Amino acid sequence: MQKIKIFILSIILMLLIIGGLFVPKGRIEGKVKDKDDKPIHGAKVKTEPLEGQADVTEVKTNEEGKYTTDKMDNGLYLLIVSKDGYTQKQKNATMRSTLFSGFNCSSRNIDLDIVLQAEDEIEGEKELVIIAIYNSPANIPRGFAWDDTYLWSCDDYTNKIYKHNMDESLSIIATYDSPGGRPRGLTWDGTNLWSCDTSTTANKIYKHNMDVTLSTAAIYYSPGNNTFGLAWDGTNIWSCDCGLAKISKHNMDDATLSVAVTYNSPNSIPSGLGWDGTNIWSCDSSSDIIYKHNMDTTLSVAEEYDCPNLGPNGVTWAGENLWICDSYTDKIYKCKIE
């Protein structure tokens, strides 16, 4: 009888774990230090959840510079670390619990050391930090544009283009039918929205009128069959093609939007383009890396940022923030480079 009870309890525990009803808490811990590896005492470590309903927590480092934030639910967190005399630092941490044999559930503790830079020091290494996450309007978000007031997105599943408020939920102001069958990229030229499409009957780049239907003002053939991203540099349209692994700069002085220059993409599947006011940025969904390009004769890579938890399929800059859409998670990410 005792063996039967143990068996039944084991089955119940297993069902609770599988159903997500019994999920262990995790812990984020580490040391805050300066560039010389010296501990920083009294640094404030604030942890904000970017997913789920976990509470915001705040702790301070001890004399050894150590901190511990425990009882953490699964999800993505933003750590904001600050101390008078130092530049504030932000870092992401992803908490995931693990399940071991024998139905023993154990949390994954994250060791995360953070280096603070004195305010008078030269800027150090940069990294991409996610500061907010939003649900995409549909299942396959592909491209972004920023018109100086509103964010625009397109979705490959619904064949729609969306205009968003810049509020807490990125709510939708208006929804438009895409002129083709598979919208993959967007950009804004200061007056008009542009989109690209890779459906078998389209493979076009569209310039849109800013009317109630977002009607087409002009239609151009894409350089290839898989144009996945667009950007506007203030003078020219740029496009990227994931089939050709090329990035193209287009002429604006003829009726064909002909290609002025073609560059090799840094990796095999370029999936989005953006412009920060000075440089072209691209993202690649094969490497999950975002690239900042030098504006030289080869469009060489100036900086690159790893996105291990994302499959970037579109990027745009809006002020000081980089926006990324991910068709794997169906999420939209607001990021900072710091």
- CB environment 164-191: b (16+ within 10 A), e (fewer): beeeeebeeeeebebbbebbbbbbbbee
The two beta strands, 321-326 and 117-118, are unpaired
- Scanning the structure block, which residue is given the tokens 């200061």? 190
Residue 307, C-beta contacts closer than 8 angstroms, at least 6 positions apart: 128, 283, 288, 289, 290, 324
Residue among 107, 32, 92, 116 nearest 67 (CA): 32
Long-range contacts of 7-16 (CB under 8 A, 24+ apart): 10/103, 13/103, 14/103
> Domain ends where: 78, 102, 125?
125
Same domain, yes or no, for 243 and 281?
yes
What's the domain count of the chain?
Answer: 2
Tens-digit pLDDT string for the chain (338 aa): 555 555 555 665 555 444 444 556 789 999 999 999 999 999 999 999 998 778 899 999 999 999 999 888 888 999 999 999 999 999 999 887 655 444 444 456 899 999 999 988 876 678 899 999 999 998 888 899 999 999 999 998 999 999 999 999 999 999 999 998 889 999 999 999 999 998 767 789 999 999 999 999 999 999 988 899 999 999 999 999 998 999 999 999 878 999 999 999 999 999 999 999 999 999 998 899 999 999 999 999 999 998 866 788 899 999 999 999 988 888 999 999 98
112 and 260 share one domain: no
pLDDT at residue 338 in the model = 82
- Same domain membership, residue 200 and residue 239: yes
Q: What is the largest CA-CA distance in the chain?
A: 86
Task: For residue 7, tell me if it sits in a domain.
Answer: no
Q: How far apart are CA 5 and CA 122, in angstroms?
A: 65
191 and 246, same domain (yes or no): yes
Give the contacts of 52 (CB within 8 A, at least 6 positions apart): 73, 74, 75
Are 142 and 118 within one domain?
no
Q: Among 125, 158, 182, give the residue marking a domain's end.
A: 125
Choosing from 59, 92, 125, the residue where a domain stops is 125
**Residue 190: predicted pLDDT:** 96
Q: How confident is the model at residue 105, as a pLDDT?
A: 47
What is the CATH number for 230? 2.130.10.10
- Asked whether residue 326 falls in the same domain as residue 199, the answer is yes
User: Alpha-carbon distance 293 to 167, whole Å?
Assistant: 30
The reply to whether 286 falls in a domain is yes
In a domain, 287, yes or no: yes
Domain contains 299? yes
State the residue range of the domain holding 29.
Answer: 24-125
Q: Say if residue 208 is in the same domain as residue 239.
A: yes
Q: Tell me how many helices (H) and strands (E) the chain has.
A: 1, 32
Check whether residue 87 and residue 149 sit in a common domain: no
- Looking at the structure, do residues 91 and 173 belong to the same domain, yes or no? no
* DSSP string across 193-231: EEEEE--TT--EEEEE--STT--EEEEEE-SSS-EEEEE
Q: 12 in a domain, yes or no?
A: no
Is residue 14 domain-resident? Answer: no
- φ and ψ at 139, to 5 degrees? -95, -25
Whether residues 63 and 171 fall in one domain? no
The per-residue pLDDT for 7 is 54
CATH number at residue 115: 2.60.40.10
Residue with tokens 């425990």, as numbered in its chain: 70
Residue 4 lies in a domain: no
261 and 159 inside one domain: yes
41 φψ region: left (φ > 0), alpha (ψ -120 to 50), beta (else)? beta
Residue 176 and residue 152 share a domain: yes
